[in-house]
Structure 1
Amino acid sequence: MNGKKVITLKPESTLEEKKEDLSLRLFVVLSKAYQAIMEQIEQDIQSKGLNLTDFAVLELLYHRGEQPLQKIGQKILLTSGSITYVINKLEKKEYLYRQPCPNDRRVTYAVIAEKGKNLLDRIFPEHWGRIDELMSVLNEEEKATAIDLLKRLGTSIRKL
């Protein structure tokens, strides 16, 4: 065989198979929850006249300040070609502008413009409220527990 584990279904599951069933179930539940949340978030952002990528770039600049173009793609998981397209589009709408680095001519920063800041000042509180509404099914203790568990899961996976 190729070294991969093959799972066969039997009428009576062993303890190991039950653990694998729970792992698979957790994966499916996490995936579906993420998809449901993102569908709602995307609708919210689109209702404000932006798409997810445009919002992600503006939100990054709004909360973290100017960013090198090369780093934006890494932070919001986009290719350099996609970032260039998004930055061009947002610059054309006057939501941000490019600023050359004074110390390194190879580096260009994206800086949120006043128009972009005003837009985020207006829409971000409502967006934050929508996220809070979506998460309101969990109480504060459950949210803290979920954060801890998901951090632990993510951290262990990154170490693989």
Structure 2
Amino acid sequence: MSTQAAISDRDLIAAWGQVIDGFARTHQLLMAEFTEEFGFPAGWFEVLMRLLGANDERGLPMTRLAREASLTSGGFTKLADRLENAGLLVRRDCPSDRRMTYAQLTPAGRDVAERAQAAHADGLRRYVVEVLGEDDTRKLSLLLSTLGAAHTSC
């Protein structure tokens, strides 16, 4: 049994609201910078980062990208169309499974993604590390990673 006093319902809900509010405000600032600097909608950032981090030279399966970006397959198809029209990604058929299509960064897409990654890291240093410090930033990351892992079903 813990010796700490139990947190009240009201305090627990207020604490969670502060977590959400802090994240939302910081994320909004970061995405506004992305949109201003690169001229693309904020929703493109996540897809560009996921494709930049892909370990597979083919890119990533479109279905996986849609799921990870929390979009329907139709919604993601429209987003992929826009990224393709902007010259940032191409679609490639999977040679071993005709049902699967991969999204892959073009050279221009890779350039934009790399520049966006550097700009985003600079923003994170300003809006997170300068506010919390390196140790608390690492703690926050670990805590939220632990929380996310506890609620991820595979």
Which of the five TM-score ranges fits, normalised by the shorter chain? 0.7 to 0.9
Q: How does 1:91-102 map to 2 (within 5 A)?
A: 91-102=84-95
**TM alignment of 1:1-150, pairs within 5 A:** 18-47=7-36, 48-64=38-54, 65=56, 66-135=59-128, 136-150=130-144
Question: Which of the pair has the greater relative contact order for Cα pairs under 8 Å at 6+ separation?
Answer: 2
**Paired-residue identity, %:** 23
Alpha-carbon separation, structure 1, partners of 2:141 and 2:111:
31
Distance 1:53 1:145 in 2: 27
Paired residue total: 144
Post-superposition shift, 1:139? 1.5
1:21-70 Cα distance to aligned partner (Å, 9 max, x none): 22111111011111101210121111121112212111111111501111
CA distance in 1, matches of 2:35, 2:142: 31
* Paired residue type of 2:87: E
Provide the aligned C-alpha RMSD in A: 1.8
Any idea what SS the aligned residue of 1:137 has? helix
Q: Which runs of 5+ in 1 are unaligned?
A: 1-14
**Mapped partners of 2:146, 2:50: distance in 1:** 25
Aligned-partner Cα distance in 1 for 2:146–2:11: 17
Q: How many Å separate the matches in 2 of 1:157 and 1:102?
A: 35
Quick check: which has more Rg, 1 or 2? 1
Q: Which structure 2 residue ranges, 5 or more long, are not aligned?
A: none
- After superposing the two structures, state which structure 1 stretch, 52-61 or 146-155, moved more: 146-155
Q: Distance in 2 between matches of 1:19 and 1:154?
A: 23
